[in-house]
A and B are shown apart, each in its own frame.
Chain A
Amino acid sequence: MTDICILGYCPATKQFGVAAASAAIGGSGARLAACAWRGIVYSQGAAALPSPRRAARLLEDGWRGKALLDAIDTGDAARRLVLTMDAQGRVADSVGAEIQKSSYVRRSAGAIAASSGHASAAAVAALLEHFDSQAAEPLAERLMRCIEQGGQACQADFNSAFLRVYDPAIEYAYTDVTVDCHQAPVSELRKAHDWLSPLYAYYALRGQDPTIERYPQWLAKQGIARSN
């Protein structure tokens, strides 16, 4: 199973998030656990998280770093690569013994990236390269570009991709886009993200207040012209 991912943190907005591309056809929900004001855990490689629900509870209870990974890593740990980032951007990782030879993990300021399967160390370097050089970019766009560059660098056949960004002020994922079972999931993710990115704030508002205008009028108020 070839997978690449990057977890990133923005100190200016306190947002954190993850972007990933995988040879798996989908099922990102079994690989990711998150708490918007605590952090995220993401698993790649041959095995999903043994219990995303328990991992989310541990996050909520304040577990983080290596202690969190040790607490959740039961069962298939030898076949799993797990990364975590807390709400201050601190990271930890755990690479199972059976996949160490085919896995690469690298950290930089506010980010951790990994590849497994047929992806290479070059893919991890590409994932981080954009993150390190574009600190001013909104986190969702920055992670999106990272996964595009990482995907190009490893030239693997992916079947799914996703992007999530959490904001400590919002209980759920502020940005949450997924492409399942697709021949070109990363470019499809880019298409969806481009259409949605001016509207994440709108949909967050509309959930709280159904009386606001429809999105074309709201976009026009923001000075954004759009035909669809």
Chain B
Amino acid sequence: MTFTVMARCERSGRLGMCTTSFSPIAGSRVPAIIPGVGALAVMSFAAPAMVMFGGRRLLDGRDAGDVLDELRANDPYPEHRQIGVIDARGNLAANTGAAAVPYAEHRCGDQFIVLGNVVASSAVIAAMYETFEATAGEPLAQRLLRGIEAGRDAGGQLDGQRSAFLKLGMPQQEALLVDFRVDYHQEPVGALRGIFDRVLEADPQWAREVRAA
């Protein structure tokens, strides 16, 4: 019931994720963004305990493939989950279990992954992928958000969206540079865009940092 664009900036090492979901509080249940370490999304029946486990493995220095394998090996329902992992070196790993609710798919690009389940069609996945690729040169946070907007505009979730988040970290700073959640809203992606644009305008110093990569 969720779709996500997650990515690493090859130049700056920044890691980020933008997600929207039919379920509320996706920002609390889906992601781990650990600046300079890795990013992880556990979707299609989000499981925060799995996110914490995977986050610890990334902190231990495991690469993306190992983390995915361990998560699946320790999950009683691996075929129900959809998981994406990016490590600090830009390695990607993703899986969409056979029992994830359709339409469900993931695609890996150059240091980015798009994933979605219970989306309207493959056009949602394609729109996220193509938009992220086509916006190369824009700041990573903007590309992630544009990817999710494109997925929404291509049909989004079958039942609509209720929550969204945008998170982005820089390798040299433990606190996230971008950390916005919309936990319960009729149009969470639009609300997230509103927050992002308002803060860009209101805080020039923050806007400079966001636009740096």
Contacts and interface: CB of A to CB of B under 8 A. Distances in A.
Interface of A: 25-30, 48, 51-53, 170-173, 176-181, 191-192, 195-196, 199, 203, 206-211
A48 B195 CA distance: 21
Interface in B11-44: 23-25, 27-29, 34, 44
A207 B77 CA distance: 10
Interface in B47-64: 47-52
A53 B174 contact: yes
B134 interface: no
B181 A178 contact: yes
B184 A30 contact: no
B175 interface: yes
Given A30-B175, A192-B24, A210-B77, 7 more contacts: A30-B176, A171-B49, A178-B28, A178-B181, A196-B184, A207-B49, A211-B77
8 contacts: A25-B199, A29-B179, A170-B49, A171-B52, A179-B181, A191-B184, A192-B184, A211-B80
B47 A178 contact: no
A169 to B, nearest CB: 12
A19 B177 CA distance: 23
Given A26-B181, A192-B184, A206-B45, A181 B25 contact: no
B66 interface: no
B180 interface: yes
B182 interface: yes
B49 A172 contact: yes
A28 B29 CA distance: 15
Contacts of A27: 175-176, 179
A94 B45 CA distance: 40
Contacts of A203: 23, 25, 29, 46
Contacts of B180: 26, 180-181
Interface size class of B (residues with CB under 8 A): 20 to 34
Contacts of B29: 176, 203, 207
A136 to B, nearest CB: 26
A29 B176 contact: yes
Contacts of B28: 173, 176-178
A210 B27 CA distance: 19
Given A172-B48, A181-B198, A196-B24, A52 B183 contact: no
Given A27-B179, A181-B198, A195-B184, A51 B174 contact: yes
Contacts of B195: 25-26, 180-181
A199 B23 CA distance: 11
Nearest to B51: A172
A51 B36 CA distance: 14
A121 to B, nearest CB: 30
Nearest to B24: A196
Interface string B158-191: 0000000000000000111001111110000000
B28 to A, nearest CB: 4
B52 A172 contact: yes
A210 B182 CA distance: 24
Contacts of B183: 177-179, 192
A26 B177 CA distance: 11
Of the candidates A27, A28, A48, the one having the most CB atoms from chain B within 10 angstroms of its own CB is A27
Contact of B48 (A26, A191, A207): A207
B206 to A, nearest CB: 9
A195 B175 CA distance: 30
Contacts of B50: 207
Contacts of A170: 49
Contact of B179 (A26, A176, A199): A26
